[in-house]
Amino acid sequence: MFRTLAASDLLPLWIILGLLGFFGLLILVIIFVKRHVASLQIKKDEITEEEAVRQELDRILVPIEDEEIQKAMEEEAKKNGQA
């Protein structure tokens, strides 16, 4: 009715636990090295809020290439006293 477990019955479990332990240790070593070795650290460039807004606007807005539309917009701006 009940069967005792032999060491060979647990071999797949030990293999899986060994692999998990190995890769877990490898990940911990990589994290430690990346935090403490200066040449491997990622450097973030700090930019001001104004520069971030300017970059976002340059990315979104498309310059007008049609000369007729540009002239019409300039004339409208002059008419309204903006330029």
Which pLDDT does position 61 carry in this prediction?
85
Number of domains in the chain: 2
- Is residue 1 in some structural domain? no
Which pLDDT does position 17 carry in this prediction?
96
- Is residue 7 in some structural domain? no
- Is residue 68 in some structural domain? yes
What kind and span of H or E run contains 76? Answer: helix 67-80
The pLDDT tens digits along the chain (83 residues) read 667 777 778 888 999 999 999 999 999 999 999 888 877 777 777 888 999 899 998 888 877 778 888 888 889 888 887 64
Which pLDDT does position 62 carry in this prediction?
78
Residue-number span of the structural domain to which 25 is assigned: 12-40
Residue located via tokens 């030990």: 14
Residue 74 and residue 54 share a domain: yes
- Is residue 83 in some structural domain? no
Residue 54 and residue 34 share a domain: no
Residue 35 sits at the vertex; the CA angle it makes with 31 and 41, to the nearest 5 degrees, is 110
Length of the chain counted residue by residue:
83
- Is residue 36 in some structural domain? yes
Which pLDDT does position 7 carry in this prediction?
73
Which pLDDT does position 82 carry in this prediction?
63
CB atoms inside a 10 Å sphere around CB 67 = 8
CB-based contacts of 64, cutoff 8 Å, min separation 6? 70, 73
